[in-house]
Structure 1
């Protein structure tokens, strides 16, 4: 346990304190989007709808922040570990592969927790969004669970092992996924066929769960099943890709 805690501390220093870009991409960017879409680009939005929009967009940006941290930060950090031979150091140390990824997950989930709290604080100050401590705790808890799926996607992307390929894949996944899921603007303004695709995405289903919590409406089992299915699919792909790379000698564990 002491070794695991020590590794987690090292990862905090490597990912947060030595990577200033995190504060821009993983925290500041969703906040900028939130202010932009709730204070500037709302001139034609009816006042009666604005309150719900400010609340719903807070949920969207929470999930978007989780995507940035869960997918982009995970993929790039693991790739950097591979290229700097830090992963080799872990392989030669008593720390297991499971502990290595577990420690990384704790750091990334904590960063997403900080992002969610920062976004909520901005929403309360800028738009006077009123969320009880209990509801906020439920929202953050659900999003942190959803972050695990996003981290799995980031791990999968890192297996590409080339910086250009990893950057391309993260951009091809994160930004289209955010758009299709209705995180940047309402999904109902898209063509029907795009809506049908977007509603299958795990991030859309996560937003449905969050909005039901926020507005205290009835939850349905469908979104939870969707997230479970996506998690199983990504985990299965991870297992297959890792096995193939082991057979080819591309991974050490």
Structure 2
């Protein structure tokens, strides 16, 4: 049986540790908010993408941008740091339950991502008078947070890079965001970039939210794309783990 009290303690401890890092908070929470304010200010109010108002379309893009960054940068950097300090070896022989400790990372990540999602919806409501309704907002928030497991697996791979994990994770995060159409609609990209975008997990991840926003079913090809990336990242991670144990 899970010791709920112990789990909550570890989760709160992890969240406090994250929010002590001002640079991280700015990069993951403040930057998408800033981008949303700027992007919605420079385009006219009647602008739209595939029939969806730009202010709403951009909202989903920036929520995806923030959640994805939280997954890649928070977990990837944390895993790399703890691996370099042999922290996992210490945890195994300490009174702290190893399973609870790992689970606390996931729950603290989800807590921060859900808080960020809520913050973006509140910002859109007060800044752009956007009210998607409780049901639709919950659908979008839950789908995007659950689907971000793809980027959690990518973060675990990045975490194996040691001291290089933070710069490589940041570069990869920004490239996926730009090339995946989170900073500008894919329709506005040059043709060769738009062809590349539809293959990336970042585009297909955000597309889940865009589909819900347009009151459409989740795109089957996007779900398949994300599942394929998840399987690839998972298999690669398991392979590297086994090879490390053999050595």
TM-score (norm 2): 0.90
Of the three residues 12, 17, 42, the one matched with 1:14 is 17
Structure 2 runs not aligned, ≥5 long: none
Query: What aligned pairs does 1:31-42 form with structure 2 within 5 A after superposition?
Result: 31-39=33-41, 41-42=42-43
* Count of residue pairs the alignment pairs up: 242
Cα deviation for residue 217 of structure 1 reads 2.1
Alpha-carbon contact 2:33-2:62 (below 8 Å) kept: yes
Alpha-carbon contact 1:187-1:195 (below 8 Å) kept: yes
Query: What aligned pairs does 1:36-185 form with structure 2 within 5 A after superposition?
Result: 36-39=38-41, 41-42=42-43, 45=44, 47=46, 49=48, 52-93=53-94, 97-162=98-163, 165-185=164-184
User: Deviations 1:183-236 (Å, cap 9, x if unpaired)?
Assistant: 001112222222122101122112222111112124332211111111111111
Structure 1 runs not aligned, ≥5 long: 249-253
- Which ranges of 4 or more aligned residues in structure 1 deviate by more than 6 Å? none
Which whole-Å CA distance do the structure 1 matches of 2:242 and 2:10 have between them?
Answer: 25
Alpha-carbon contact 2:32-2:63 (below 8 Å) kept: yes
Cα deviation for residue 245 of structure 1 reads 1.9
Alpha-carbon contact 1:60-1:207 (below 8 Å) kept: yes
Which whole-Å CA distance do the structure 1 matches of 2:47 and 2:23 have between them?
Answer: 38
TM-score (norm 1): 0.88
User: Deviations 1:119-151 (Å, cap 9, x if unpaired)?
Assistant: 111111111112101001001101111221111
